[in-house]
Chains A and B, each alone.
Chain A
Amino acid sequence: GAVVSQHPSWVICKSGTSVKIECRSLDFQATTMFWYRQFPKQSLMLMATSNEGSKATYEQGVEKDKFLINHASLTLSTLTVTSAHPEDSSFYICSAGAGANQPQHFGDGTRLSIL
């Protein structure tokens, strides 16, 4: 079945650091990938839609200059949290679908802790 890999699983770093998270579709090509954030005991919140070869589409309230998305190939999207602060600490998850109207498959998620 469709597999999505996300790396790293855990990041702990100091305030002000920039953190890059990778999302790869391992056995299919994904022109579109999605980035979510989930705070404890809350539902998944879509941050942005990552489009291969073009700019990402950000949801309302998500700062595009803070959360940089690059989707340079059909199997890789990256999310960079720039100048991270403690309030950016969260569970970040990517997803991709193998085809139109197909279910999304999620990466394992990245737990980000900013000290």
Chain B
Amino acid sequence: RKEVEQDPGPFNVPEGATVAFNCTYSNSASQSFFWYRQDCRKEPKLLMSVYSSGNEDGRFTAQLNRASQYISLLIRDSKLSDSATYLCVVNPSGGYNKLIFGAGTRLAVHP
């Protein structure tokens, strides 16, 4: 089993749609969680950290379920510019230790 698993997609949605991505992780002791966005042929960029109580940043909402070892990202009112690959990222040990990346979920928003 992979340490971080995501549905690869692609998710093809019209502008204005709401779309949700899921991610599961295998290490129950994992400390911190993030969603990154990666555009084609570019470096990943931090979208948001994921907190136990859930958190929202504009149109983006992230949730964490430690019992189920499950992380989600909800995007409301999708824009064309949201088209990218979304990476679920886990820090299994805390501190400065390495991050574990999911393979990413591709999102394509069309007019």
Interface residues on A, range: 20 to 34
- Answer whether residue A81 sits at the interface, using C-beta atoms and an 8 A cutoff: no
Knowing A34-B99, A43-B103, A101-B31, say if A106 contacts B94 (CB, 8 Å). Answer: no
**Chain B CB within 8 A of A82 CB:** no
Question: Do B104 and A43 have beta carbons less than 8 Å apart?
Answer: yes
Complex Cα distance, B30 from A35, in Å, reads 21
Q: Is A46 an interface residue (CB 8 A)?
A: yes
On chain A, the residues within 8 Å of B42 by CB distance are 108-109
Contacts of B44 in A (CB 8 A): 44, 93, 106
Q: How far is the CB of B36 from chain A (nearest CB, A)?
A: 8
B98 adjacent to A100 (CB under 8 Å)? no
In the complex, A34→B103 CA distance in Å? 18
Residue interface bits B74-111, CB-to-A below 8 A is 1, else 0: 00000000000001010100111011011110000000
Whether a CB of chain B sits under 8 angstroms from the CB of A64 is no
Contact pattern, A 23-60, Cβ under 8 Å of B = 1, otherwise 0: 00000000110100000001110100100000000000
Q: Are B41 and A91 in contact (CB under 8 A)?
A: yes
User: Cα distance A6–B44 when bound, in Å?
Assistant: 13
A7 at the interface (CB under 8 A from B): no
| Bound-state Cα–Cα, A12 to B89, Å | 31
SS of B interface (majority) = loop
Contacts of A95 in B (CB 8 A): 99
Q: In the complex, which residue of chain B has the Cβ closest to the Cβ of A30?
A: B96
What B residues does A97 contact at CB under 8 A? 96
Contact across chains for A34 and B98 when beta carbons are under 8 A apart:
yes
Residue of A6, A32, A43, A93 with highest tally of chain B CB at under 10 A: A43
Whether a CB of chain A sits under 8 angstroms from the CB of B32 is yes
Write the A79-115 contact mask toward B (1 if CB under 8 angstroms, else 0). Answer: 0000000000001010101001101111111010000
Question: When A43-B102, A44-B101, A101-B91 are in contact, do A31 and B96 touch as well, CB less than 8 Å?
Answer: yes
The 7 closest A-B pairs by CB, nearest first: A43-B103, A106-B43, A32-B96, A109-B43, A100-B95, A44-B101, A103-B46
Q: Taking beta carbons and an 8 Å cutoff, which residues of B are in contact with A?
A: 31-32, 34, 41-46, 49, 87, 89, 91, 94-96, 98-99, 101-104
